[in-house]
Each structure stands twice: as C-alpha cells, then as structure tokens.
Chains A and B, each alone.
Chain A
Amino acid sequence: MSPALAAALQLALVVAVLAVLYVPLGDHMARTYTSRTHLRVERIGYRMVRVDPDADQSWKAYAASVLAFTLVSILGLYLLQRVQGVLPLSNGLAGVSPSVAFNTAISFATNTNWQSYVPETTMGHLTQMIGLTVQNFLSASVGMAVAVALIRGIVAVRGGGLGNFWVDLTRGVVRILLPLSIIVAIILLTQGVIMSLHTSFTATGLDGSTSAYALAPVASQEAIKELGTNGGGVLNTNSAHPFENPTPLSNVVEVIALLLIPVCLTRTFGTMVRDRRQGTVLLAVMGALWAAQLAVGLWAESSPHGVAAQAAGAMLEGKEVRFGIPSSVLFAVSTTGTSTGAVNSMHDSYTGLGGGGLLLNMLFGEIAPGGVGSGLFGILVLAVIAVFVGGLLVGRTPEYLGKKIGRREITMAALSILVMPALVLICTAVAVVLPSTSGALGNSGDPGTPGAIHGFSEVLYAFASAANNNGSAFAGITVTNDFFQIALGLAMLLGRLLPIVFILALAGSLAEQTPTPASTGTLPTRGVQFGVLLVGVVILVAALTFFPALALGPIAEALV
C-alpha cells in the first residue's frame, strides 16, 4: 500500500467512524444530561457527599461548585504527589518536588495535562492510577458539565436554573466517559498497548547492551487520555511510545477517541436546543477549521526544507517512521485542535509553517473541535460574538437561539474571550525578557538567527498550550525552573477557571430571559451563511490578536 493511500484510508476511517457514532453518541449524551432518573450507583455517590441531586443550581451556585471542586482536586492531587513515597505502589519513587507537584496538580485538574516531569521517573503507579487517571475523568466531566450548563441557560425559559453540577459531573463520568474508556482501552490492548503493574523489564539489545524499559498500567489511562482530551502520557514520549501507541490502527483509534466527544457534543447541543441544524453549523465550522489546518500541515511537512529533509524526502525529524507524515500531522492537528495535547510526534521539529499551524490551532481558542465540553462552550462564546456583530448588521438587537445578546451577555462573552490572549501575551512577554529563559530553551542564538526565532516560538507555544489547557509542548523547552513552573501553572489555572466563571455567568443571564421566537427578521444561525461568519470571527479574532507574536516566531521562521 502506498503511503498516500494508507494516509487517505486512515483519514477516511477517522471520518467514517465519527460519522457513524455522531448521532447515537450525541443523543446518548443529550439523554444523559436531560434524564430525570438517577442510577443506583449515582444515588450512592450523592448520598455519600450529601448532595440533593434534584436541586437546581443558579449560575453562581454552579460556578461555586466548579471552583470548589477544581480547587479541592488540585489540593488533593498535590498532596498525593508529595506523599507518594510513603504510599504503596510508588515504584520506589520519592515524593514529587513542590514545584512539579504544584504544576502537575493544576495541570491535571484543569484538563491540561502539561507535563513538566518525566513520568517514568517521577510518578509511581498509585499516583498515576488514583491521582492522574482519576483527574483525567473528572476534569473532562467538569468541561462537559459547564458546556451543558451553558446549553441549559440557552434553552431555559425565564429564570430556569443551570442544572446541578454534582449530577452533571457524576453522570459525565458514569454514563459517558467510563463506558467509552472501557471500550477504547480494550481495543488498545488488542493492539499491544501495555497494562502492567511492574515497573520495568530489562532487554538486551543487538549490540549486547542492556536497557531497562519502563512498564505501567498504560491502556486504562491511555483511553481516557484521548477520550477526555487530557493528553498526559504515562510514558514520557507519550503517544509516540510503542507501549502507548503501537500500531497504525491504535493511532487511528487514538485520533478518533480524542475527536469523538467534542465532535458529538455538537449533536448533543442541537438535540438539547431542539434544533439539530444549530449543532450541525457548529460542527461544520469546527470541521472546516480542522480540515484546513490538516491540509496546510500536510503540505508544510511534505515540502522539505534543508539538506537532511530533502535527502529523506520529507520532514521526518521528530516523527515516528511507523506513522509517517500523514498520521503524524493528523494526530498533531487533532491534538492541538482539541485540548488534548497528547503527541505522537515532536511538534518542535515541525516546519515553521507546520508548527505555526499547530500553534494557531490552539490560539483559535481550541474550537476545532476543542476539548470535551470546552470546545463547545468555546465556540458558543465565539458564536455569541458573531451573532452580536451579525445581529447589528441585520438591524435587530442580536439574538442567539431566541436569547438577546445585551450588555451583560456581551460583557461575559468578551471577558471570557479576553482571558486567553491576555495570559499568552503577558506571560510570553515576561518570559522572553527574563535572563533565565534563554538557558531553558532548546533553541537559542544571537538575535535574528533561526535559533532565536525558534526559541521564541517555544515560549509562545508553551503559554498558548497552558492558557488553552492543551498540554502539548514544543518539546525543546525545559520548563522546570520556578518561573515557568509557576507561570505556566497560573496560566493553566486562570485559563481554565476564569472563562468558565464568565461562561456560567453568561449562561445565568441567558437563562433569565424569555426566548423570542425567530422570524425572518432574525439573524439565521443555522445555515452556511452563519457558518462563514463564525469562521470569519474565529480567524479574525485570533489573527488580529496574535499577528505580531506569530510574525516574530513561526512567520519569521516560515519565510526564511
């Protein structure tokens, strides 16, 4: 099979599986979040934490629950890492250092999974299993809960609540993430993904030297790593490691898994607002951006620059030969378009244009198709902005799905959009002038040299990844000094929680309104026209905000 054909078949398989699962999974999720009945296991959980599952929460109560839950998660995860040395299944590893534990606790509780550590030599099995993996489920479920709360705000009639966070959190885990994870984990096991409580085995190489290979309970965590768009690998090289991602088929399964829930949530949205085409439009926008990024990435990585690459016929540095260029780019575009951050190739080694594309994919605000839940609420906020401008253009107070976009709504939408650029730009600007930074960069050099440009891109990428809760890295950068640990930690924390609070406030003020029935005078938000407008807004907002920064990094690199 020729590489091009293989690539086309893989791509077709990804799209076909998503297409088949779109309706059933989307509707299953809609049912999950609208059903009035509780499973027995859920009831036990509610009773244990003393929550009334039938209480409807206001936006403030919902937001307070999210904040409290996330902060407690961070604290718990921090403590677990610090004391892992005295707990069983620690693989003989000592407690994690405070700065790494701080950064990692925030990282996993905010669905970022930025890893400033080498997992094999830092985290014991117990920390991985009851700490990181548990947070992979919970943080993903929090994202979905917030998205669902926003949908409820949209469909609510005059003063309805946003639902109950604890119920949404529980159901997301029990009814969606756990069943899917079990299925995906079993498929991955068949492909050879390992699942072991041993710490390592030793093998003798052809040259007679012996090396130790780390073992871990990978398959169980690998499934939720992709499904929850988490991305934190059990093994340092993440999905490039043969134990995490052994075959082209496992690669396709992982790509499907990380796209699955964000894509199907648009169906959930359409079903819950009782207008399926509203969801289709959002999916089309996500799909168009994803496809465009994929096309540019494939072209950039297949057009070799430099002697070595031309000799190899492609930009293969930093990519697994068993995957080749198309599967690497497919994975990379999907992982940066969702908030996953898992990698099967080193993004640092991409071309200026290819790497810049991955960076831009995050700077869009991760909506192509975005993280679980966060992709949907992210694009809904951009839709609110698009509706606002479009609504003015048709001469009516802007309305989205019957709800007017007035002062409070636009304030909350604008604030939530403001957070990410502010974090990325401020943190990057501070980082690049700190003398300590140049020592942390994988690439550096005199000003104006390609090394200096790439070093800048690494910093920009790191903060874009953190503030968007992606978690992937331009791996060249070493982020273990205190500045990066703290700054990236705060970027992840604020990049996650501030937009969530603003979005829940937006949901709250939408919920207070009586819906206005649509007429021919209302801006239609279910057709091609609105899709084009929304794509325009997404690109314009990102381009206008980050053009200077991108010009100093990837654009300067690409134009050399």
Chain B
Amino acid sequence: MTPSTGAGPTLTTERPEPTPDSGIAAGPTPERTPAGVFRPRQLLEALPGAVHKLDPRHQARNPVMFVVLVGSVVTTVLAVLQPSAFAWAVAVWLWFTVLFANLAESVAEGRGKAQAATLRKAKQDTVAHRQTPTGIEEVPGSALTVGDLVVVEAGQVIPGDGDIVEGIATVDESAITGESAPVVRESGGDRSAVTGGTTALSDRIVVRITAEPGESFVDRMIALVEGAARQKTPNEIALNILLAALTIIFLLAVVAIGPMGAAAGQLQDPIRLIALLVCLIPTTIGALLSAIGIAGMDRLVQHNVLAMSGRAVEAAGDIDVLLMDKTGTITYGNRRATELHAVGAVSAEELAAAARLSSLADETPEGRSIVEMVTERFHLAAQASPAERRAELIPFTAQTRMSGVDVDGTRIRKGASGSVLAWVQEHGGSQRADAAAIATQATDLADAIGARGGTPLVVADLRTSTGQARILGVIELSDVVKPGIAQRFAELREMGIRTVMVTGDNPRTAAAIAREAGVDDVLAEATPEDKLALIRREQQGGRLVAMTGDGTNDAPALAQADVGVAMNTGTAAAKEAGNMVDLDSDPTKLIDVVRIGKQLLITRGALTTFSLANDLAKYFAILPALFSGIYPQLDALNVMRLASPASAILSAVIFNALVIIALVPLALRGVRYRATTASRLLSRNLLLSGVGGVIVPFVGIWLIDLLVRLVPGIG
C-alpha cells in the first residue's frame, strides 16, 4: 500500500489544507454584499425599479398585489370624483402598499446585480485560438460551439467552458469563485474542467468546449443572481394558490358587506370597503413572497453555491438522507500521522527525530502531518535548520515505494514495510544480532495497523559510522475525523436527516470511522454503482436524498439524487449532472444548503401566519367604523378606542403598508433557523408569528391612530 492511497478524490494539489471548520463557517468573500445586512439606502436605490414594476402585466403575476393595484386605481378615481381628505389619504396609502411590495422585490434583486456586473466583466468577449485541421485560427469566444478545440496559453483568458484534453495549467478562477489562490487543472481525471472567463496562469492547454454560446456557466450564473431565470418553486406555487383562495374568500366577505349593510339600512362607502379588503387579504406575505425567493437564492450565492433551480433549494430543506464521501468531508482529505511505534531498543525520541528529518522536505500532506505530530508531541523544531536544509531528498517513486533523505552521512528511509525491510537487508541490516526479531516485530506492527484501517510507514536509517541499516519503528497514518463533525451530524439527526458515509474502505475500517464521526450509516467498499443503487433504494422508500460529488463517476448518482451538489473542481460531467455547484468545493457545504432551504420555507410560513393573524386586529379596527353608525352597540368592538371611523380605517391601511417595509429586512435575511426538532421549531415560530401576529397590529394601529387623528378632516 502506498502512502498516498486513500479512498475518494484528494484535493491536495489545488488548495491549502482546509482548516478544521472551513466551509462550516464559510464566510462571504469580501467583494460581495454580505447576506443579512440590509441598508435603508437600498430602498432608495431600488425605487426606480419599483416604479417600473407598477406595470399591470407584472402585477398580474401576483394575485394578492393585483387586487391591491385594482383597489388603488378605483380608490383614486373615486377620490378624483368626490375629493375628501379621507379618500385621498386612503388612495395614497394604497399606492404606497403596491409600491412597497415592488420595492421589496427590487431590493432583493438589486443585491444580485452587483455580482452580475462582476461576472459580466469576466464574460467580456475573448479571443479564442481554435484548432482547425489546417492550423490555429482566431475567432471570438462567442463563436465557439460544442466540440471545438481551443488552445490557451499562459496569461490568456479561457474562452469557454470545457474539459482540458491536453496539458496542465494553473488557473486563476477568482472571477467566478472569488478565491484568489490559483488551482491546477489537468487533462484526464476528475480535474479537467475549466470555466470560461477564468485565466490560465501557466503552461499551455488544449480545451474541448462543452457549452454552447449563451449557455455557459457564467451566463447561467448571471441569470441566476439577477433573478431573471427565477421560476416559482413548487412550495411557492402551492402557497400562492392558498393565498389566492384566501383572497377570494375575503373578496366575498367584503363584497357581501355591501348588500348586507344596505339591507341593514346603511349604504357603504366603496372606499371603506376597498380599504377593508386590502387590509384583509394577505398583502404582507403577498408583497414579500417573491423577495423571499430571490433573497434565498442570493443567500446561497453568498455561500458560494450556485443552484441551477429554486426547486433544488427547496428540495434541500426536505432532505431525509445525506450521502457524504468519507474523504475530505468527514475525515481530512489525507491520512495523517497519529502514532509512532518504536521497535527493539530504539527510543520513541529517536524514531521521532528520524521521522521528522525524513519528512521535513516531504511536501505531501502525509509528510507534513508527520512533522506536525512530532513537533507537537516531542517538541522538535518544525522548521529545518540550515544544516538540515542541505539534506538530499530521495523522492517517492512507484518503483521504490519509499522516500527519504540523505544528510551528513545518515540515510533515512520511510515507506511501505516490504520495501523498507528489503532496503535494510540490502544495507547490512541482517548482520545485526536481533535483525530477524526486529523485522518480525515491525511486520507485525505494520499488519496490525493495516488491519485497523491505517497505513503503516516503516522508518529505517543507515549511518555511515556503523554501515548497518536498522529498523527504527513504524509510523501509523490513519484517517482523522474532522473536529466538530460529530456535532454537525447530531444536529442533522435532530433535524431528521440521516447521514450515510460513503467510502471505498473495507467495512471494518469504515465502521470504526463511522462510529467516531457519529454518522448513522455506512456504505463501505462503495463503487459508483453502489452509490446509485443506494440513492434509488432510499428514493423508493419515499425519502429525498442529497449528495456531493466531483468525479465523472459520480455524475449518474448526482443526477439521480434529489439534491446533487457538484464541486466546482469537478468534471464538467459532474457539474452538468448536479443541480448545484459549490464554488468552494467544500463538501460540508451541503449542511448550509439544507439550512438555507429550510429557512426559505420557514420565512414564507412565518409571514403567511403573521399576515393572517393580523386580520383579527384589522377587523376590530374597521368593522365598528363601518357599522357603528347603524348599530351603535358595535362600537364595543372598537377595543383600540380609535378616534373616528375615518381614522380607524386609515390607520389600518397605513399599518398594513408600513408592515411590509418593516418586514423587508426579515424577508431578505430569513427567519432565524436553529437546528432542532420540528416540534420545537413549530412552537417557537407559531408563538412568534401567530401570537405575535395577533398582538402587533393592535398596538401598531392604535399608535398610528394617535397620529392620524390629528389630521384635519380625518380625526
């Protein structure tokens, strides 16, 4: 077994080792507007867009706000025909209601615009060097079609999405990911995909274009962040239907007041009925519904995740099963040194010193982990001294299956046990008295480590002074579960999500790691087919499955999963198959995606509940105002003691409009979500939006009335 053998893809060539909680706390990259921050100035900036949206064709898409728009028009006409302070005040505030709804949507959209502008810069038309049978021709990047081969040299912008078919290059992807560290892209394997608009920094590559013009990754990204490609998600559609039904019920209830009131002997002023209708229909959620959806997508973008559809984001909130690769997600991408086992008379310190020396110049993650461990446990220097820096590095090759250093007359080797033992034998090790016993001890140790899923590295040295090689001991490399991951899984469990660890390891090793990480289930010795079969099985049981993947192998499973998050480092096939792309290529990001999906639904639910609960107070404000002329006893319902019928109705209308603006920040930020059981979530959110929704308008309308009653002609 070679030291670098590990299940799953290793990402080490591209990125620095992730910090233990990277991605878990993945913050927004600096150049983007941070999610959740809402500046009042945004409202002003969004005003032109909001006015533009008054177009009835736009309003007709939202039945609730369309009713408000019609009400505004009718009220305005009535106010012109029979002017009064009350009529004009209601008309103006009804227009404000419509405008505020548009404003919310514009603000939400505005946040994506800045990012779209940055992306457009990346998309600026590039010159492509297309390979033709006769040579290389220069064409505009927009003229490339699928299958074209283009040559990109150091410093050039890659003209389109594609796979590298020849060569290797470092690529600056900051235009898309916001990450400034360049990454390596090479032909073949799972890291061959390049994105149009990124820049090749070194070497020369040949890229086969995989996207038609206008359908590239950057194009889709721009459409997404601008909200142009936004389609209503299934739950949003369902909610819209419920809101439309409620609007119809309220329309009937209010229209019926006309004849009923007339029969009771009082003709009703149509403006008052329109005011009541607008107050009753769920304008709060109706006004903010599309802003919530856009902001949800935007929040994902802040997390550097691109969802190809809003449907996928919603599905993320419904996930029952989460498939996670062991390597890179649950454990660090590479095995790490966890133990030193000295053999024979060798002291642990001696072994540690040799292990350190042999690994100082070893830039593989395993090598670095050895240095880290010995500096920590044996307080040895982490940096090479000038003398040590003169050491000659013997690199690992597939033939020798070991690496090492030669320094100041000492040669140190570490590697697979068979190879190192053979090297010791070759270099006079067998002449030592206890050679056979020590060799057996080392082999036994190595076997034991292998049996528990670790990787043994045998260390030996050869001093010119003795001329005899000797075995010093064995370094145990094993998978290290990322700190905090068990807690994340516990959270997921509480949210009702089962985690399944997918690994190529044997079942015994897999089980050990699974236990440590606290996952619910393991798929060991997994082939891509096994993964696909597992997803299908879960789905047949009615469960929704999410997974991450980056290889072409993963593409079928990514496509089958309800939520498939492809790593941006992955192949074009994987990115095509998934319904989200994580630009940071951080597999734990899926947990954040789930959170955002849930938050999206909760925000909608909370505002719907709030909107409906508000109606109670509005009835108490408006009904006495409508009827106390004919039935004075109904004034008993005027529990807020509002000054006059006109001030009562106007106060309710003003409250109704202002509450939209007041809730814009909440709609954009989303209701706070904590991972807990559905039962506790429900109690908390019902209390806040339901009970709060009943109380708030009583106070709000009462306060507004205190001001409105001062207006001449109203109070």
Contact = CB atoms under 8 A, between A and B. Distances in A.
B317 A556 contact: no
B241 A520 contact: no
Contacts of B600: 395
Nearest to A402: B542
A390 interface: yes
Main secondary structure of the interface of B (DSSP, over half): helix
B249 A548 contact: no
B612 A425 contact: no
Main secondary structure of the interface of A (DSSP, over half): helix
A390 B242 CA distance: 13
A556 B634 contact: yes
Nearest to B613: A540
Contacts of B421: none
A389 B605 contact: yes
A411 to B, nearest CB: 5
Contacts of A385: 242
A418 B261 contact: no
B245 A544 contact: no
Interface in A94-139: none
A407 B234 CA distance: 7
Contacts, number: 221
Interface in B218-262: 234-235, 237-239, 241-242, 244-245, 248-250, 252-262
A395 B602 contact: yes
B605 A391 contact: yes
Interface stretch (A31-39, A52-60, A428-436, A484-492): A428-436
A517 B249 CA distance: 34
A514 B678 CA distance: 21
B602 A418 contact: no
A433 B267 CA distance: 12
A405 B497 contact: no
A181 to B, nearest CB: 38
B264 A447 contact: yes
Contacts of A516: 320, 542-544
B314 interface: yes
Contacts of B105: none
A433 B257 CA distance: 12
B398 to A, nearest CB: 47
A514 B634 contact: no
A556 B261 CA distance: 12
A444 to B, nearest CB: 10
- B contact residues, range: 35 or more
Contacts of A391: 601, 605
- A contact residues, range: 35 or more
Contact of B260 (A397, A429, A515, A559): A429
Interface stretch (B201-209, B334-342, B651-659, B683-691): B683-691
A395 B601 contact: yes
A447 B266 CA distance: 8
B235 A426 contact: no
A407 B237 contact: yes
B619 A415 contact: no
Interface stretch (A140-148, A326-334, A523-531): A523-531
A430 B238 contact: no
Given A418-B248, A429-B256, A527-B679, A559 B633 contact: yes
Contacts of A548: 253-254, 256-257, 260, 619, 623, 626
B678 A433 contact: no
A536 interface: yes
Contact of A514 (B497, B540, B608): B540
A392 interface: yes
A41 B382 CA distance: 93
Contacts of B260: 428-429, 432, 456, 548-549, 552
B151 to A, nearest CB: 48
16 contacts: A388-B238, A390-B682, A391-B605, A392-B604, A406-B238, A407-B237, A407-B241, A410-B238, A418-B248, A422-B249, A429-B258, A448-B265, A448-B631, A520-B679, A524-B678, A551-B627
Interface of B: 234-235, 237-239, 241-242, 244-245, 248-250, 252-266, 280, 314, 317-318, 320, 493-498, 540-544, 597-602, 604-606, 608-609, 612-613, 615-616, 619, 623, 626-627, 630-631, 633-634, 636-637, 673, 677-679, 681-683, 685-686, 689-690
Given A393-B606, A517-B320, A536-B690, 19 more contacts: A388-B239, A388-B242, A407-B241, A414-B245, A425-B252, A429-B260, A514-B541, A515-B542, A519-B496, A529-B682, A540-B612, A544-B280, A544-B615, A549-B253, A551-B623, A551-B637, A552-B627, A556-B627, A559-B637
| 10 closest A-B pairs by CB | A447-B265, A521-B496, A392-B605, A395-B598, A519-B496, A414-B245, A432-B263, A559-B633, A393-B605, A394-B678
